[in-house]
């Protein structure tokens, strides 16, 4: 379980290979508009931003890239979203299997090994669910674009498909320079986008379990689903409440809107930090308190084996359960009738604290190499780590070293936690001898 045969390293390799291919394609003269050329750093940044579904941009997407370049970007987003869902699900399967636990993600087989059949089943499931959700979302959006706006049926269909794909894969790219701000008060656009984005953000294991309805018939969902669904929705509710409370009467954001419109925008912006990162109000106008809450939600991200980055909802929830058990003097962590092993507790803490370390280090480098202040920089770094792609507008102004830091952050945010956890869980644990204990003073 070491060396390059480790499955977690295969995931990293796959993403690196796709990044290299995307970078090369972006550097082709045909990828840029006539008269423009693309340097290595810009091409690399755009490739990683696309593959990780982040959507941060150092050049104006519409103005810089040719149609060919835009198609490359879209394909990278689609490959990235599909790839992460598949690979993260397979890794989760491997981990569950190795630990001898109930195989949540696949129909039980007679044999007790993970074979190509399982992987095929995961791929088939991801493709089916992705296309189905995107199709439904695209149909609803296209209908609205066609009936409610001055579009031909063909254009409306294209826009519907584009934004549904962008939402489900947590990309957050829109076909308008102001993202989705012009649709801020249209529930027929905003609500389908939120629904599709949240569905993609829940992650394949949860979607698979909910949609096949099998576990439910047997009387219960897996613990993973029982944690992810309420915590994810709860985080969206917290985000919504904060946006509404803080921004309600602010002139640059919710102030000009009516009560119903405020509620719609509030829900949209409560959901976006943990999902696709679209925006219907100006991010640069957000209050510092709203930004800090966004930072936290973006850092957490969405469900495991979903299309978002971050440390993931279950990691956050497990840490909360661990703290609760510790403060309540309970020697083991019990959640919804199940025990959380010490190993899983340690993994959650490791993922979260290493994530904090990575984001803080990146933030310090950006602060030291730019003139921007902490509000904007922390927003940028957590947005990159969480694969969200919201920005207060500093991305294109970053010097090369800072752009490199953002590239690394996007990469770590997308593949870091899944590869780390699977590497932790799949490795061999052995120690030849134990030392005597000693207790330093804590606190």
Among 277, 303, 355, 416, binds K ion (CB under 5 A): 277
Binders of its own copies in range 277-296 (CB under 8 A): 287-289, 291-293, 296
For its own copies, give the closer residue by CB, 83 or 137: 83
Confirm or reject binding of residue 386 to K ion (CB under 5 A): no
Confirm or reject binding of residue 205 to its own copies (CB under 8 A): yes
Confirm or reject binding of residue 55 to K ion (CB under 5 A): yes
| Minimum CB–partner distance for residue 170 and K ion (Å) | 5
Confirm or reject binding of residue 302 to K ion (CB under 5 A): no
Stretch that binds K ion, among 96-104, 169-177, 183-191, 232-240 (CB under 5 A): 169-177
Binders of its own copies in range 368-407 (CB under 8 A): 368, 372-375, 377-378
Contact between residue 264 and residue 216 where contact means Cβ atoms under 8 Å apart: no
Taking CB within 5 to 8 Å according to partner kind, which of K ion, its own copies, none is near residue 277?
A: K ion
Provide the token pair at 67. Answer: 């149609």
Confirm or reject binding of residue 310 to K ion (CB under 5 A): no
Residue given tokens 């190993």 in the structure block:
343
Between the alpha carbon of residue 157 and those of residues 10, 160, 223, 241, 280, the distances in Å are 37, 5, 39, 34, 21
Between the alpha carbon of residue 340 and those of residues 215, 223, 321, 334, 337, the distances in Å are 20, 10, 9, 6, 10
C-alpha 54/C-alpha 385 separation (Å) is 9
For K ion, give the closer residue by CB, 172 or 303: 172
**Rounded (5°) CA angle 100-104-107:** 100
Confirm or reject binding of residue 172 to K ion (CB under 5 A): yes
Q: What count of other Cβ atoms lies within 10 Å of the Cβ of residue 99?
A: 13
For its own copies, give the closer residue by CB, 170 or 304: 304
| Minimum CB–partner distance for residue 166 and K ion (Å) | 8
Q: If binding means CB under 5 A, how many residues of this protein chain bind K ion?
A: 5
Taking CB within 5 to 8 Å according to partner kind, which of its own copies, K ion, none is near residue 217?
A: none
| Minimum CB–partner distance for residue 100 and its own copies (Å) | 10
Question: From the centroid of its chain, how far is CA 28?
Answer: 29
Q: Say how many residues make up the chain.
A: 443
Confirm or reject binding of residue 360 to its own copies (CB under 8 A): yes
For its own copies, give the closer residue by CB, 49 or 315: 315
C-alpha 429/C-alpha 41 separation (Å) is 40
Confirm or reject binding of residue 363 to its own copies (CB under 8 A): yes
Between the alpha carbon of residue 184 and those of residues 22, 144, 158, 162, 180, the distances in Å are 33, 14, 20, 18, 7
């Amino acid at each position: 379980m070491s060396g390059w045969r480790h499955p977690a390293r295969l995931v990293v390799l796959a993403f690196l290979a796709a990044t290299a291919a995307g970078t090369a394609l972006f550097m082709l003269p045909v990828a840029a508009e006539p008269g423009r050329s693309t340097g290595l750093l810009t091409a690399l940044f755009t490739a990683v931003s696309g593959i990780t579904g982040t959507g941060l941009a150092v050049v104006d997407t519409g103005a810089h890239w040719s149609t060919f370049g835009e198609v490359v970007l879209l394909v990278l987003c689609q490959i990235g979203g599909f790839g992460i869902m598949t690979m993260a699900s397979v890794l989760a399967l491997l981990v569950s299997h190795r630990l001898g636990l109930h195989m949540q993600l696949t129909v039980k087989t007679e044999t007790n090994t993970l074979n190509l059949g399982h992987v095929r089943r995961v791929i088939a499931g991801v493709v089916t669910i992705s296309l189905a959700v995107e199709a439904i979302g695209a149909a609803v959006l296209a209908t609205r674009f066609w009936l409610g706006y001055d579009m031909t049926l063909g254009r409306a269909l294209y826009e519907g498909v584009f934004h549904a794909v962008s939402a489900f894969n947590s990309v957050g790219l829109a076909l308008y320079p102001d993202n989705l701000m012009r649709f801020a008060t249209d529930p027929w656009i905003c609500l389908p986008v939120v629904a599709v984005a949240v569905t993609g953000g829940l992650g394949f294991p949860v979607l698979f379990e909910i949609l096949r309805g099998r576990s439910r018939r047997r009387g219960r969902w897996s613990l993973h689903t029982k944690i992810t669904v309420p915590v994810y929705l709860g985080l969206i509710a917290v985000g919504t409440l904060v946006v509404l409370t803080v921004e309600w009467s602010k002139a640059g954001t919710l102030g000009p809107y009516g009560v119903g419109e405020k509620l719609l925008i509030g829900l949209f912006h409560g959901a976006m930090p943990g999902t696709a990162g679209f925006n219907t109000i100006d991010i640069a106008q957000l209050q510092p308190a709203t930004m800090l809450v966004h930072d936290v939600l973006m850092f957490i991200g969405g469900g495991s084996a979903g299309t978002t980055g971050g440390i993931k909802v279950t990691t956050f929830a497990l840490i909360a359960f661990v703290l609760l058990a510790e403060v309540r003097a309970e020697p083991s962590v019990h959640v919804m009738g199940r025990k959380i092993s010490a190993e899983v507790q340690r993994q959650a803490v490791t993922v979260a604290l290493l994530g904090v370390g990575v984001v803080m280090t990146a933030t310090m480098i950006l602060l030291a190499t730019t003139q921007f202040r902490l509000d904007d920089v922390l927003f940028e770094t957590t947005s990159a780590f969480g694969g969200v792609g919201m920005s207060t507008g500093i991305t294109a102004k970053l010097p090369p070293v800072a752009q490199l830091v953002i590239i690394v952050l996007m990469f770590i945010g997308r593949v870091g936690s899944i590869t780390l956890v699977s590497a932790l869980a799949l490795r061999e644990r052995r120690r030849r001898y134990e030392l005597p204990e000693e207790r330093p003073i804590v606190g």
